[in-house]
Amino acid sequence: MTTTPAPLSLNGQACDLPAEATLQALLRQRGYDVDAAAFACAVNGRFVPRSQWSLHALGEGDRVDVVAPVTGG
Amino acid sequence: MDLHPPTPWTVAGATLTSRMMLGTALYPSPQAMADAVSASGTEVLTVGLRRLQPELGGGEAFWQRVRATGCHILPNTAGCHSVDEAVTLAHMAREIFGSPWIKLEVVGDDYTLQPDPFGTVEAARTLVRDGFQVFAYTTDDLVVAQRLHEAGCAAVMPWAAPIGTGRGPLNPYALATLRARLPDAVLVVDAGLGRPSHAAQVMELGFDAVLLNTAVAQAGDPVRMARAFAAAVTAGRLAFEATPMAERQTAQPSTPTVGQPFWHAVP
């Protein structure tokens, strides 16, 4: 029996791995303005600093979270 | 109204005049938020972090509006249910805001939003070690507050009542005990205050500041309520610094009894 690997997910939604499988490439592919300062990333629940986005390799099953400031108490 | 400003205080390396921190959620409009912030005189604003969908916009616009206030920004870890989630979100916040300030929240119970004391203490220790200035949201439990203070938190922030209830201090005795047992800690009452009199009450106990959101944002007139809370916080602090009179069990006349006319006059 074969198992299908879990797809890559971005903010909880399945998405395709970009040709260049890095965090920065994924963000660009999904329309994020990577030069804007007001967001940060985590992969599989671990913080990935901005300086590592272009180096951080992604694979099937990785869970990417991108957060930005919102109203809060 | 020109109230005598309260004594400045220091938290996480910042010297502040206002003793009222304010949340940025639940206002009827972004402009109402900006106006309430201005009216309150606050110098510290709390914000949240949530998933960003570029197609929906947001993020940058809100951040620009908040940054324009010139206030210190205190991002929270609201909604985190584990130490790992809270620590990761704190690191994400530090990169976005370029500041080590973090309002640590680790939820223990979804119904009451009561913080998880074990997770909060563990996360606080980790974040202090990682160089954060931790403002730890907690209950009014004395021993948990002691552990958070010992962990090196910049501020320990007990609730007065569960978040968003507006019920005011449910256990003033516990809050007074915290102040008495932690005289050197920065103590901020966070959550559960509904009316300016609640804020004045806890400030009279000697708390260093209060943190409000719903009580201002959901008032019929948030701007006027922001002003009312600011006045109450100042009044409460001044009262604490002035040392309130001791309570008495029995009446004692304030007008001198000597020289009382008709004294012992028999009708």
Q: Residue B178 pLDDT more than 90?
A: yes
Q: For residue A37, which residues of chain B lie inside 8 Å, CB to CB?
A: 96
Contacts A40 to B, Cβ<8 Å: 49, 91-93, 95-96
pTM of the full predicted structure?
Answer: 0.93
Residue A15 β-bridge partners: A8
Question: Are the beta carbons of B49 and A42 separated by less than 8 Å?
Answer: no
CA B207 – CA B209 distance, rounded (Å): 6
Residue B111 is classified by DSSP as T
Smallest CA-to-CA distance from B8 within B45, B41, B46, B38 is with B41
User: Model ipTM?
Assistant: 0.93
pLDDT digits (tens, 9 = 90+) for B57-104: 656 788 889 999 999 999 999 999 999 999 999 999 999 999 999 999
C-alpha–C-alpha distance, residues B59 and B47, integer Å: 11
CB-count exposure of residue B259 (10 Å: 0-12, 13-18, 19+)? exposed
B49, A30: Cβ pair inside 8 Å?
no
Q: pLDDT digit string (tens) for B13-38?
A: 999 999 999 999 999 999 999 999 99
- Find the mean pLDDT for residues B240-263: 91
Confidence of residue B4 (pLDDT cuts 50, 70, 90): low
* Spatial CA neighbour of B154 closest among B190, B191, B179, B127: B127
Asked whether residue A1 carries a pLDDT value surpassing 60, the answer given is: no
A–B interface: beta-carbon pairs under 8 A:
107
Residues of A in contact with B71 (CB under 8 A): none
Q: What average pLDDT does the structure give for chain B?
A: 94
Please tell me the predicted confidence (pLDDT) of residue B257.
86
pLDDT, tens digit, for every residue of B202-241?
999 999 999 999 999 999 999 999 999 999 999 999 999 9
- With contact defined as beta carbons under 8 Å apart, do B45 and B66 qualify? yes
Residue-wise pLDDT tens digits, B120-160:
999 999 999 999 999 999 999 999 999 999 999 999 999 99
